[in-house]
Amino acid sequence: MLRFAVRRLGSLVLVLLCLSILVFVLSRYGGGDPVRSYLGNNASASAVAAMREKLGLDDPMPVQFWDYVSRLLHGDLGMSLSTRRPVRAELADRLPATLELAIATLLFSVVIGVVLARVYALPGCFGGIVRFTLLGAASAPAFLVATAGVLIFFVQLGWLPVSGRTSYGPSEGLSGIYVLDGLLTGNLAYSWDALQHLLLPAFAASLGPGVALARVLADGLSTSIGSAYARTARSLGESERSVLRRHGLRNAASPALSMLGVQFGMMLSSLVVVEQIFSWNGLGQYLVMAIDRADTNAVATISLLLGAFYVVINALVDIALAAIDPRVRLS
Amino acid sequence: MTRTDRPALRVDGLTVRYLTKGGPVVAAADVDLRVAPGQCLGLVGESGSGKSTLGLAVQGLLTREEQVATEGVVAIADRELDPGDERGWGQVRGHLVTTVFQDPMASLDPTMTVGRMLTWVTRDKQESLRWLEEVEIREPKVVLRSYPHQLSGGMRQRVMIAMALARRPAVLVADEPTTALDVSVQAQILSLLRREQDRLGCGLLFVTHDLGVARTMCDDVAVMRHGRIVERGPSAQVFDAPQDEYSRRLVASRLTLDTDRARPVGPPEPTVVASMSEGLAQPEPESLTRRWSAGELTWASFAAPEPERRRPPALELVAVTKSFRTGGLLGSREKQVLHGIDLTVEPRQSVALVGESGSGKSTILRIAAGLEQADGGDVVIDDRGGAGVQVVPQDAGASLTPWRTVEQLLLERLGNTPEGTGLTDAERSARIRLALERVALDPDQVLRRKAGQLSGGQRQRVAIARAVVVPPALLLCDEPTSALDVSVACTVLNLLNLLRQQLGLSILFVTHDLAAARVIADRVDVISDGRIVERVDAGDLSDSMTSAYGRRLLDAVLP
């Protein structure tokens, strides 16, 4: 098991290296002129040349890449051309916001998945209607769910806030994750307020992945409780509930976890949109602004970060899979 | 108190109906059974006879099925229970009655260690260890920590037996406990079951389709057909002098090492007789059936004339090696599966390749079929002008595209050969009809049917018809009978032998069943661990086989 984990993490390093090359190449050839966007269209030719020289844009490609990677490893992410602050400082402000939203989305997806898996298994006409409705809901893109959520819970009912992360100022806690900071500093009202702000955006981003998860989980459960090993368990006197808990869940968890890993990528991409809609001051909003202004340093860094999120989560999923199902360790 | 007074298992008037969309299907009809403590009752029959349903019903495993209706009473150690009602089963199932199922790989939870599963039953780790020792598992401590996929098939079944016996049940149900195992471990598992049953004194209900196994294992047998028990009695009596017409046919279909190879096997089958009549002096079915029954019909009478020119071997493998790579980017391993195989199949010769799973026999077949490349050595196939090699697979159901009609499937093969493309539509149609008749199928009935609508036996015959509609240079058969009921298996073996005579086919027949191998082949090659360890004439297998593995296979064919 340990060997598997080490091997899997080893291959993670390789994937991250490839990812950084890809991001680097895209940022240099992806179009847009960072110098022009920084200095403006009226800058003199000599100023542009000086800036290119300063940014090292005229160096040969391998040298530029080496520069990029070594600065990356030292934590120097360059200047954000759109905000004129170091990218690192921007990230320090915004990363916790996105982390908060991503974690909440992941948790919501799991909860929605597990709850709906039971509804999915309902027999008869009612079950059919539920499945049909959920399929429709899951097919709706996150921005549509978000807009519908805003219309219902803000405009009509006025129950939930739809802008920003809090009605108060930034938290005084250390993590930058507001719900957590409120709890840590004993300010429960602050946490409650942050949670209310979190509900709609996280729900909008997690509905699709949650339903997808539910379908895989329900399918896995019905397969495993109808399997030969479940029959063996019954023949040895296990109750239906014990069969479901001891054998059903365990065996159905593997495909559901793999699904969750894949869906996490979808979640990240919908977070970019959702942050936009709910004025959530996170990486997604920053990314949209940076793309708009050809801020290549920022775009490259955020892409790398989101990509890294994705591959790390999937590596963890693989390790969890191996812990649940011993056969995974062999392949 | 005598045995008959207090049976371990009593079944009275049990009827089981499966409620399907097309109406109820009766799986068991008014069945009565008694199994005394220490007695082994065999429940034998072909697929669909209801024997497995009966096995489930006596453990109360049908109570939760919504599409099942039951009548009658099941009594386990004097506790009367309703097989259709869960009430009362909770203290009985898993305690007074337990089961050893067919496929130990599928029947053990793949995500749990043996220890976790077994200790759930025994409630104590020391007790689990003791039970593993009891079922003769070496290194029980290691096995306790192992997962099912890390064990061999025989070990898994031993674990299954330990779990089933650990609660000392009054009744043990064994549902085809050796069918999914290699034949060479079959005998060990059977003697283990018998010994443990004697020790615990429990009643054993032994469900099987294998008459040889039933004969060695069981004191008494009940023969089932269409949900009814058609004959019952002491094993020796039922097998040596069956009274019922169906039992007689079943017993006659069984192959042993004494079966006459020169003649058709099993009782006369009308469809096979019909396809025999072609090109004979006395083609009337009645006379053929009479001669078959009397043992006067030999394969020699169907032999096609020898060709004038001698042909090269149909298949020649010289020093063929093959290895497979497993593992990923980091840390891959290589496993050699074939070590210098030499194998020749002469024209009109039939060779059987026998070995257990993992011995490399299927890899040889795949190399001969061109589905796999050999790493080293020479593979020479006499192509006979493009007729090529054809395969009859083990699972014909999966090898035929289910939504295509039989006609489309056969036309496809015809269109892929030089011989077939030169024919007119009328000629092609005639060829297809002839091929179907040769495998004892009525063309008018099956031509327009889709493969998915046919029965298992019919699909196997369509697969053979497709393989021989243009006679191939070499016919490769991959365990074509192992998934079939005994009577259907006889028909397939007879048809293959008939085609071999009529068309002068060369055959390579891969199997683990020596009794079938000796009927179909001129020569038997024994393969073990990627090496051919022995080559013997099929005529006197029992005398000339000397290799250790060959002897084990011989012992596995029950008398």
Q: What is the DSSP string of B495-519?
A: HHHHHHHHH---EEEEES-HHHHHH
d(CA A250, CA A228): 15
Q: Does B22 touch chain A (CB under 8 A)?
A: no
Backbone angles phi, psi at B199, to 5 degrees: -65, -45
- Cβ–Cβ of B147/A326 closer than 8 Å? yes
Closest chain B residue to A229 measured between Cα atoms? B107
List the single residue in B94, B106, B330 with the smallest CB-CB distance to A237: B94
Of A7, A10, A236, the CB nearest to B94: A236
Residue of B nearest to A240 (CA): B64
Task: State residue A29 phi and psi, 5-degree precision.
Answer: -115, 5
Residue percentage of chain A with pLDDT more than 70: 96
Look at residues B232, B252, B272 and tell me which one is the last residue of a structural domain: B252
Give the distance from residue A252's alpha carbon to the nearest chain B alpha carbon, in angstroms: 11
Count of structural domains within chain B:
3
The predicted structure's pLDDT at residue B173: 96
In whole angstroms, give the CA distance from residue A296 to residue A30. 9
Write the DSSP symbol of residue A246.
I
> Which residues does A contribute to its contact with B (CB < 8 Å)?
7, 10-11, 227-229, 231-240, 246-247, 250-251, 324-327, 330-331
Tell whether B351 is covered by a domain: yes
With contact defined as beta carbons under 8 Å apart, do B512 and B354 qualify?
Answer: yes
Q: Domain A2-31+77-329 belongs to what architecture? A: Orthogonal Bundle (1.10)
A223: closest CA among A125, A117, A133, A113?
A117
Interface contact B99, partner A, CB < 8 A? yes
B271 and B142 in a single domain? The answer is: no
Backbone region of residue A109 per phi and psi (left: phi > 0; alpha: psi in -120 to 50; beta: other values): alpha
Asked if the structure places residue B399 within a domain, the reply is: no
Sheet holding B220-225, edge to edge: B97-100, B171-175, B203-208, B40-44, B220-225, B228-234
B456 and B492 housed in the same domain: no
Residue whose pair of structure tokens reads 């409620």 in the numeric block: B19
Cβ contact B169:B97 at 8 Å: yes
Split at pLDDT 50, 70, 90, the class of A30 is low
- Closest Cα of chain B to A237: distance in Å? 4
Please check whether residue B375 lies inside any domain of the structure: yes
Q: Which among B224, B363, B117, B275 has a CA at the least distance from the CA of A250?
A: B117
Mean pLDDT of A243-248: 89
Among the three residues B416, B441, B471, which one is the final residue of a domain in this structure?
Answer: B471
Q: Could you read off the pLDDT of A296-328 as tens digits, one per residue?
A: 888 888 888 888 888 888 899 888 888 888 877
Do A327 and B147 count as a contact with CB atoms less than 8 A apart? yes
B105 and B160 share one domain: yes
Which amino acid does the sequence have at B414?
L
Query: Rounded to the nearest 10 degrees, how much is the dihedral formed by the CA atoms of B398, B401, B406, B411?
Result: -120
Distance of CA A107 to the CA centre of its chain: 11
Contact of B330 with chain A, judged by CB distance below 8 Å, is answered with yes
Stretch (H or E) spanning B320: strand B315-326
B62 in the same domain as B183: yes
Q: How far apart are CA A221 and CA B146, in angstroms?
A: 24
Torsion of CA B397, B401, B405, B407, to 10 degrees: -90
Task: Tell me the Ramachandran region of residue A38: left when phi exceeds 0, alpha when psi lies from -120 to 50, beta otherwise.
Answer: alpha
Would you mind telling me the total number of residues written for chain A in this entry? 331
Which of B189, B69, B167 is closest to B208 using CA atoms? B189
Min Cα separation B524/chain A (Å)? 36
Question: CB of B559 within 8 Å of any CB in chain A?
Answer: no
CA–CA distance, B559 with B557 (Å, rounded to integer): 6
Continuous segment of H or E residues that includes residue B23: strand B23-35
- CATH number of the structural domain spanning residue B519: 3.40.50.300
- B107 vs A229, A239, A250: nearest CB: A229
Place of tokens 């995974």: A328
Query: Which uninterrupted H or E stretch holds B248?
Result: helix B245-252
> Would the CB atoms of A327 and B110 count as touching at under 8 Å?
yes
Task: Please name the residue of chain B whose CA is at the shortest distance from the CA of residue A251.
Answer: B111
Confidence band (pLDDT; 50, 70, 90) for A129?
confident
Say what the pLDDT of residue B2 is.
Answer: 44
Q: Of chain B residues 52-81, which have a CB less than 8 A from chain A?
A: 59, 61, 64
Nearest-angstrom CA–CA distance, A314 and A259 = 10
Interface of B with A in 269-328 (CB under 8 A): 328
**Beta-bridge mates of residue B234:** B220
- Do B222 and B342 lie in a common domain? no
What is the residue whose two structure tokens read 């090109």?
Answer: B279
Task: Tell me the pLDDT of chain B (559 aa) as tens digits.
Answer: 444 468 999 999 999 998 888 788 899 999 999 999 999 999 998 877 889 899 999 999 998 888 899 999 999 998 999 999 999 999 999 999 999 998 888 999 999 999 999 999 999 999 999 999 999 998 999 999 999 988 888 899 999 999 999 999 999 999 999 887 877 788 889 999 999 999 999 999 999 988 889 999 999 999 999 999 999 999 999 999 999 999 999 999 888 888 888 889 988 888 788 878 766 766 788 888 888 888 888 888 888 777 767 788 899 999 999 988 765 555 567 888 899 999 999 988 999 999 887 888 989 999 999 888 999 889 988 876 667 888 888 877 778 888 889 999 999 888 888 877 888 888 889 889 988 887 878 888 888 888 877 877 788 888 888 888 888 889 999 988 877 788 888 888 998 898 888 888 899 999 888 889 999 999 999 998 899 999 999 988 888 888 888 888 888 777 6
Spatial CA neighbour of B447 closest among B433, B434, B458: B433
Q: Which of these ranges, A101-105, A230-234, B150-154, B182-186, has the smallest mean pLDDT?
A: B182-186
User: Nearest-CA distance from B488 to chain A in Å?
Assistant: 27
Is B330's CB within 8 Å of A233's CB? no
CB-based burial label for A9 (10 Å; 0-12, 13-18, 19+): middle
> Would you tell me which residues 138-197 of chain B have a C-beta closer than 8 angstroms to some C-beta of chain A?
147, 149-150, 160, 163-164, 167
Tokens of B541: 């297998």
Query: Does B107 contact A240 at a Cβ distance shorter than 8 Å?
Result: no
Domain hosting B465: range is: 407-471
- Buried-exposed string B401-434: b where 16+ CB fall within 10 A, e elsewhere: eeeebbbebbbebbeebeebeebeeeebbebbbe
Helix (H) or strand (E) holding B337: strand B333-345
Token pair of A323, please? 């812990």
- For the residues of A137-174, what is the DSSP string, one character each? HHHS-HHHHHHHHIIIIIIIS--S--SSS-SS-S-SSS
Angstrom distance (rounded) from CA A33 to CA A36: 5
pLDDT score, position B330? 53
- Name the residue in chain A with its Cα closest to that of B169: A236
Does B131 share its domain with B231? yes
Tokens describing residue B31: 């069945």
Residue in B closest to A10 by C-alpha: B330
Half-sphere exposure of A291 (CA within 13 A, CB side): 10
B175 lies in the same domain as B36: yes
| Chain B residues touching residue A240 (CB < 8 angstroms) | 64
Please say whether the beta carbons of B451 and B406 come within 8 A. Answer: yes
List pLDDT tens digits, range A177-206: 888 888 888 888 888 898 999 999 999 999
Contact B106 A240 (CB under 8 A): no
Q: Taking the model in full, what pTM does it have?
A: 0.81
Classify B208 as helix, strand or coil: strand
Please name the member of A10, A229, A235 whose beta carbon is closest to the beta carbon of B93.
A235
Contact A326 B111 (CB under 8 A): yes
* B110 touching A (Cβ < 8 Å): yes
CA distances from B7 to B2, B74, B238, B252, B435 (A): 9, 11, 22, 32, 54
* Cβ pairs A/B, distance under 8 A: 76
Contacting residues of A for B52, CB less than 8 Å apart? none
Distance from the Cα of B102 to chain A's closest Cα (Å) equals 9
Q: What token pair was written down for A303?
A: 């892409």
Could you report the per-residue pLDDT of A114-123, keeping only the tens digit for each? 888 877 766 6
**Nearest-neighbour CA in chain B from A326: distance (Å):** 6
- Measure CB to CB from residue B93 to each of A237, A250, A330 and give the nearest one: A237
Q: For residue B33, what is the enclosing H or E element?
A: strand B23-35
Question: Which of A225, A235, A257 is the best mutation test for B, with the most CBs of B within 10 A?
Answer: A235
**CB-CB neighbors (< 8 A) of B64 in chain A:** 240
Please give the structure tokens belonging to residue B113: 């260690």
What is the 8-class DSSP label of residue B80? E
Q: Do B163 and A236 touch (CB under 8 A)?
A: yes
- The rounded distance, in Å, linking the Cα atoms of B239 and A265 is 65
Residues from chain A that touch B167, judged by Cβ atoms under 8 A, are 236-237
* Sheet hosting strand B531-537, strand order edge to edge: B389-392, B474-478, B507-511, B350-354, B523-528, B531-537
The C-alpha atoms of residue B520 and residue B509 are separated, in whole angstroms, by: 8
CB contact under 8 A, A239 and B90: yes
Q: What are phi and psi of B532, to 5 degrees?
A: -80, 115
Give the amino acid at B254.
R
- Catalogue the long-range contacts made by A86-89 (C-beta closer than 8 Å, 24 or more residues apart): A87/A297, A87/A298, A87/A301
Q: For residue A271, give how far its alpha carbon lies from the nearest alpha carbon of chain B (Å).
A: 33
**Residues of chain A contacting B106 with CB distance shorter than 8 Å:** 227-229
Out of B61, B110, B328, whose CB is closest to A325? Answer: B110
Q: Return the DSSP state at B268.
A: -
Contact residues on chain B for A246, CB-CB shorter than 8 A:
109, 120
Whether B197 and B40 have beta carbons less than 8 Å apart is answered as: yes
Which residues of chain A neighbour B61 with C-beta distances below 8 Å? 231, 234-235
Strand, coil or helix: what is A57? coil
Q: Residue type at B194?
A: R
Residue B452 CB neighbour total at 10 angstroms = 12
- Asked whether the beta carbons of residue B107 and residue A11 sit closer than 8 angstroms, the reply is no
B56, B59, B53: which is closest to B76 by C-alpha?
B59
Q: Scanning every residue of chain A, which has its alpha carbon at the shortest distance from the alpha carbon of B57?
A: A235
Residue with tokens 């509905």, as numbered in its chain: A207
| Alpha-carbon distances, residue A267 vs A210, A213, A311 (angstroms) | 10, 12, 13
Show which of B219, B252, B285 is a domain's final residue: B252
| Domain ranges (residues) in chain A | 2-31+77-329
Tokens coding A294: 């050809």
- CB-based contact B94 A235, cutoff 8 Å: yes
Element (H, E) at B247: helix B245-252
B149 in any annotated domain? yes
In Å, how far is A208's CA from the nearest CA of chain B?
Answer: 29
The one-letter amino acid at B265: V
H-helix or E-strand spanning residue B98? strand B97-100
